[in-house]
Chain A
C-alpha cells in the first residue's frame, strides 16, 4: 500500500492543472450542497428564535403562514388591519396575561417601522426566552421618539439624538415621506439576531400622528398639520395590524384561539406560532427539498467530470502502468493507484468546499442580516453536514472505482507491452 500513496500523490501533482480544475468543480459543488443545507438550517433557527413565549399571534383573517410572515418576521405586507375596538375586546379575556399591539406599514430607507406600546419592551421575548435589551438610550416616551434595532443603527450609522424621516409604505425607494414629522432616535436595541434588529420602533400614537393629514393614504395638497400641533389631536390608534398575546396558562391557548377566531365583530385569525411555523416549513419544505436535490445533482456532475478526466488521461498512462508492472506492481495495485487519485480529489474537494463555504458565509453575512434578518455564521461542520460530506466522499469513492477498474483491465491486457 505504501508505495501507492506516494505514487498517487506525485502522479496527481503532475497533472495538477486538469485535476485542479476538477477539484475546483467538486469544491464548488460541495460548497453549494452544504450551503443549501446550512441556509435551510440557519433559516429555521433564525425563524424559531424570532418568537418566544408568545402564545398567540392575532391579526386580520388571512393564512396563518402569511400572518406569521408579516407580523413576526416583518416580511411582506399585511393583508388587512384590525380595528382597535376589536383588539380591546379580545384583550379583555381573563385568560390573557399581556398583549402587545403592533402596527406595520411604514418604512425607513427599506427597514420596516413598527408602531407599538411600551409593553413591547417589557414582554417581548426571543431566542430562549430572552428579553430585549438596550445597547444605548431608552424606550420611546414622546410621540416622535424612535428606538432602532441594532442593524438599522449600524448600517445607517445612527446614534442617539439623530433625526430620521419615515416613508409611507414598504419598499426601497420612491416612497412618499412623512418629511414634516421627523423622529428623534432615543434608543438603540442590543443585537438579537432576529428581525427586531432591522426594525424601527415607534409608539402607536406616532403612527396615528404621521397619518393625521394623510386621510386616504396620501398627503392632501394644501392641508398639513405641523408636528407641534399633533398632540392636540386624539392620537389613540383606530387600527392595528396585529397583536402578540401571552396567556396565564398555556393550556388555555386553544380556548382563547377559538374565542378570537369566533369573534363576531371582525374577521380575525389567531395562530399558535409553533404550529404556524410548522406550516411554514411545509410550504417551504418542497422548495428546500428541490434545492437540495439540485445541489446533489451538481455534486454528481462534478464527480462525473472528475471520473471523465481521470479516464481520459488513462490512455497516455498505459506506458507508465507497464513500467510499474515491470518493477513488480500487481494489477490490484494499479487499480488502487487510480482509485486513490479520484478518492483524494473528492476528499480534498470536500474539505475545500467547506472552507469555501465558510469564506462565502463571512462575506454574505452582513447582507443576509440587514436584508432578511437572517443570522448566518461560519461554523464547524455539524453532524448532519458530516453525513452529507461522508455521502459525497462515498459517492466519489465509488465513482473512482471506475477508472481504477479500467486501469486494472488495461494493465492485465497490456502486460509489459502496451499496444499504443
Chain B
C-alpha cells in the first residue's frame, strides 16, 4: 500500500497546485510602498522596445513636491493649517499631473503592480498599472502621470490584485476635455497614459 499512499499524495499535489497559485507568488513578499527595479531609459535594439522606469513618465520640469518647496517645516507650529493645506495642494497637483506627450506611440517595457478593472470570467481584460505596492489600499494614490490604463492584447489568466508584472506595449497619452470650470486648477483636466500590452510576464528580480 505504500505505492497507493504515494500516489495519493501525488494526486493531492497535482490538484492543489493549480488552484491557488497567482501569476506571481503570494504578494511576492512585497511591503507597502515597495517599488520594482528596472534599468532606466535603455534602448534594447533587438527587441524594438525601450525599457524604462516610472520616473521616465514624468515630464521634465514637473516637480511632484512643488507644493512643499516653499514651506520651511521647522518654522511651523504643531497642527499648523498650512501644513495640511500644503498636503491638500500636493494631492491636487498630483491629481492633475501632466503627461509627457513624447511617449505617445512609443513601445516600452516597464514593471509595476496590477489593479484589475475588467474581467471576463477568470481572466483580466483591463487593469491599471501602478508603480508601488499597495497603491490603492493604504497609501495615497500615485500622481496621474504614474498610472497606466493597460489593455492586454489577450485576456490574462491568474492575474490578481498587486501582482508584480512586466508589461511590454505601446504607450498612448490621453488628454481629456479641458474643464470649463472657472476654477484655475482645472486647467489640464484628467489626462493619463494608456497602453496596449503585447506581453505581460511575472516580475522576477534580476
Decide if A and B touch, CB cutoff 8 A: yes
Cβ 8 A contact of A398, one of B4, B115, B174, B190: B4
A252–B4 touching, CB < 8 Å: no
Q: Given A127-B120, A249-B174, A398-B10, output 12 extra A-B contacts at Cβ < 8 Å.
A: A44-B121, A44-B122, A48-B119, A249-B176, A251-B148, A254-B141, A272-B115, A274-B116, A274-B118, A275-B161, A288-B19, A391-B14
Task: Give the 7 A-B residue pairs with the shortest CB-CB distance, closest first.
Answer: A254-B141, A274-B116, A251-B192, A398-B7, A48-B119, A278-B161, A45-B121
For chain B, residues 163 to 206, give those with C-beta under 8 angstroms from any C-beta of chain A: 174, 176, 179, 181, 186, 190-193
A53 cross-chain contacts in B, Cβ below 8 A? 118
B1–A388 touching, CB < 8 Å: no
Interface residues contributed by chain B, number (CB under 8 Å): 48
A384 at the interface (CB under 8 A from B): yes
B11–A251 touching, CB < 8 Å: no
Give the bracket for the number of chain A residues in contact with chain B: 35 or more
B193–A251 touching, CB < 8 Å: yes
B117 at the interface (CB under 8 A from A): yes
Q: Which partner residue on chain A sits nearest B193 by CB separation?
A: A251
B116 cross-chain contacts in A, Cβ below 8 A? 272, 274-275, 277-278
14 A-B interface contacts by CB (under 8 A): A48-B119, A49-B121, A251-B193, A252-B192, A254-B142, A257-B136, A274-B116, A275-B116, A277-B116, A292-B15, A300-B8, A384-B18, A398-B7, A398-B10
B135 at the interface (CB under 8 A from A): yes
B110 at the interface (CB under 8 A from A): no
A255 at the interface (CB under 8 A from B): yes
B4–A399 touching, CB < 8 Å: yes
A94 at the interface (CB under 8 A from B): yes
A24 cross-chain contacts in B, Cβ below 8 A? none
A-B pairs with beta carbons under 8 A, tally: 132
A277–B12 touching, CB < 8 Å: no
A304 cross-chain contacts in B, Cβ below 8 A? 4
For chain A, residues 72 to 122, give those with C-beta under 8 angstroms from any C-beta of chain B: 94-95
Main secondary structure of the interface of A (DSSP, over half): helix
For chain A, residues 211 to 247, give those with C-beta under 8 angstroms from any C-beta of chain B: none
A300–B190 touching, CB < 8 Å: no
B120 cross-chain contacts in A, Cβ below 8 A? 48, 127-128
A401 cross-chain contacts in B, Cβ below 8 A? 3
A296–B15 touching, CB < 8 Å: yes
B160 at the interface (CB under 8 A from A): yes
A399 cross-chain contacts in B, Cβ below 8 A? 3-4, 7
B147 at the interface (CB under 8 A from A): yes
A16 at the interface (CB under 8 A from B): no
What 1/0 flags go to B123-136 for Cβ under 8 Å of A?
Answer: 01011100000011
Tell me, in angstroms, the Cα distance from A402 to B8 when the chains sit together. 13
What 1/0 flags go to B26-66 for Cβ under 8 Å of A?
Answer: 00000000000000000000000000000000000000000
A258 at the interface (CB under 8 A from B): yes
Most buried by A among B11, B20, B121, B179: B11
A275 cross-chain contacts in B, Cβ below 8 A? 115-116, 136, 161
A41 at the interface (CB under 8 A from B): yes
Cβ 8 A contact of A248, one of B127, B161, B176: B176
Tell me, in angstroms, the Cα distance from A399 to B122 when the chains sit together. 34
A289–B14 touching, CB < 8 Å: no
A254–B147 touching, CB < 8 Å: yes
Cβ 8 A contact of B117, one of A49, A274, A307, A388: A274
Cβ 8 A contact of A289, one of B1, B16, B115: B16
Residues A251 and B149 in contact in the complex (CB < 8 Å), given A52-B118, A274-B119, A395-B8: yes
Cβ 8 A contact of B12, one of A248, A253, A293: A293
B100 at the interface (CB under 8 A from A): no
A391–B11 touching, CB < 8 Å: yes
A250 at the interface (CB under 8 A from B): yes
B179 cross-chain contacts in A, Cβ below 8 A? 94
Most buried by B among A48, A248, A251, A281: A251
Tell me, in angstroms, the Cα distance from A129 to B125 when the chains sit together. 11
Min CB gap A279→B, angstroms: 8
A95 cross-chain contacts in B, Cβ below 8 A? 190
Cβ 8 A contact of A255, one of B6, B95, B124, B126: B95
Min CB gap A65→B, angstroms: 13
A330 cross-chain contacts in B, Cβ below 8 A? none
Min CB gap B7→A, angstroms: 4
Tell me, in angstroms, the Cα distance from A94 to B141 when the chains sit together. 18
A55 cross-chain contacts in B, Cβ below 8 A? 117
B135–A254 touching, CB < 8 Å: yes
B14–A274 touching, CB < 8 Å: no
B3–A296 touching, CB < 8 Å: no
Tell me, in angstroms, the Cα distance from A288 to B117 when the chains sit together. 24
Min CB gap B198→A, angstroms: 20
B144 at the interface (CB under 8 A from A): yes
Most buried by B among A249, A277, A281: A249
A387 at the interface (CB under 8 A from B): yes
Cβ 8 A contact of B7, one of A248, A254, A289, A395: A395
B160 cross-chain contacts in A, Cβ below 8 A? 278, 281
B140 at the interface (CB under 8 A from A): yes
B12–A296 touching, CB < 8 Å: yes
